[in-house]
Structure 1
Amino acid sequence: MTVAFQQTIPILRIFDVAKAKEFYVDYLGMVVDWEHHFEEGGPLYLQVSRAGLILHLSEHHGDSSPGASVFVWMTGVEALHAEITAKNYAYNRPGIEKTFYDSLCLKLVDPFRNQLLLNEEIKQDFET
């Protein structure tokens, strides 16, 4: 049988559900797909998504360490930048940087020091 990986879903550590939803839902425009508590009053584990990007956010101490980085290839970096900049989110004013690997990178840092590195390949026009 051939090995085939189907999808990667990063798990990011959060400490405050309201702050997480403010960042991921209100600011980034993601939707909450589902939420789960393994027991009443226990830590929350939830999934958020937007346009093919799926993230799991967890209050569980063993699921992940704060300060993780997630590298994402995407299209529409400049459109997303314009969208989030217009929201005047008080805690993040990211810019777009050109990288050494020929992409535009929008680096977002959530309230728990996790980084989303959203990259779009710069298309090179070559004349023949």
Structure 2
Amino acid sequence: MEQHRFGPVLPPYLQVSCEGRVQHLVEHHSGACRGGVLRVACNGIYGFHGRQAAKHHGHACPGIDHTGLGTREVTVRHSFGNRLTFANAVST
């Protein structure tokens, strides 16, 4: 995880990388409206969930949702209602 500020009064920019995927995040009002959702396809959802649960984040302790669409999903919610949903397909 790398964090950078382009100036002392500018919002932080953050790059998060996991298993070859890179996500760029910025704490800025135009980044997403409240209630925005980012969906990330991934493999190994149980391992991902286990690593997140082991960090004991009191404010973000998501479970694994078994959807009717045949996916397993872990959704991390932000205090402004934004969500990051990590999902993988279930093989039949």
TM-score normalised by the chain length of structure 2: 0.81
Letter in 2 for 1:63: G
User: Which of 11, 28, 52 is the matching residue for 1:84?
Assistant: 52
Give unmatched runs, 5+ long, in structure 1.
Answer: 1-30
- 2:27 alignment partner in structure 1: 59
What is the alpha-carbon root mean square deviation over aligned residues?
A: 1.9
Cα offset, 1:83, TM superposition: 1.4
- Identify if the C-alpha distance between structure 1 residues 96 and 45 changes in structure 2 by more than 3 Å, giving closer, same or farther: same
TM-score, reference length from structure 1: 0.61
1:40-55 map, 5 Å:
40-55=8-23
Map of 2:4 onto structure 1: 35
User: Cα gap change, 1:62/1:106 in structure 2, threshold over 3 Å: closer, same or farther?
Assistant: closer
- Within 2, Cα distance between the matches of 1:107 and 1:82? 13
Q: Which has the larger radius of gyration?
A: 1
Q: Deviations over 1:35-62 (max 9, x none)?
A: 241x442222332221133222223323
Structure with the higher fraction of residues in helix conformation: 1
Q: Unmatched 5+ residue regions in structure 2?
A: none
Query: Does residue 72 of structure 2 align to residue 104 of structure 1?
Result: yes
**CA shift at 1:104, angstroms?**
0.7
Shift >6 Å, 4+ stretches: none
